[in-house]
Chains A and B, each alone.
Chain A
Amino acid sequence: EDQVTQSPEALRLQEGESSSLNCSYTVSGLRGLFWYRQDPGKGPEFLFTLYSAGEEKEKERLKATLTKKESFLHITAPKPEDSATYLCAVQAGSGNTPLVFGKGTRLSVIA
């Protein structure tokens, strides 16, 4: 069974204090690993897709990396507007296989 575990459950940072969120996964044949951002009362918003170990993607203050067992979402010099829940998901096997999501990390950035 495909599994995704995110840690920590919640993270509180001061503005400018860089940190990383972790997503560890167990999947038979990784097709892709996805990161989403979810603001309160809204649907998840797509951030990145990673396909193979060693791959990195960047967007503004966010950088996602992938190894064979886990992915990290690095947040550099965060701002209060980066506060949100960050979700990790994996897709296994064929292109029709639905994503399996982790429970998310709730990030709070304090000014």
Chain B
Amino acid sequence: NAGVTQTPKFRVLKTGQSMTLLCAQDMNHEYMYWYRQDPGMGLRLIHYSVGEGTTAKGEVPDGYNVSRLKKQNFLLGLESAAPSQTSVYFCASARIQGGYGYTFGSGTRLTVV
């Protein structure tokens, strides 16, 4: 059981380039989330999805877009990368029934130069 898999694990982008981060879960979870983690800032929510075909903005959505075309996948896109988007990105998934917590992926370390 792989849980939550994030691809890629590391990436270096130049300012203005675009990329897509992929998150895949094999637990049939309804909910999926994208967070970024920066030193001294903790985990901050970017976007989330409560089901296939639905997405919503979190605390820091600017500069990012998401899509949830399939229940098991949640994609995070950066249209024009900026140095401020240098961060570690975590995807998480959760069951509808509360209390079981989120299952996180191992993260994507992104550097924008």
Contact = CB atoms under 8 A, between A and B. Distances in A.
Interface residues of A, number: 25
Interface stretch (A12-20, A44-52, A58-66, A67-75): A44-52
Interface size class of B (residues with CB under 8 A): 20 to 34
Contacts of A101: 35, 42-44
Contacts of B48: 98
B41 A46 contact: no
A54 interface: no
A82 B97 CA distance: 29
B51 to A, nearest CB: 10
A41 B41 CA distance: 16
B103 A46 contact: yes
5 interchain residue pairs of minimum CB distance: A43-B104, A46-B101, A103-B42, A101-B43, A49-B99
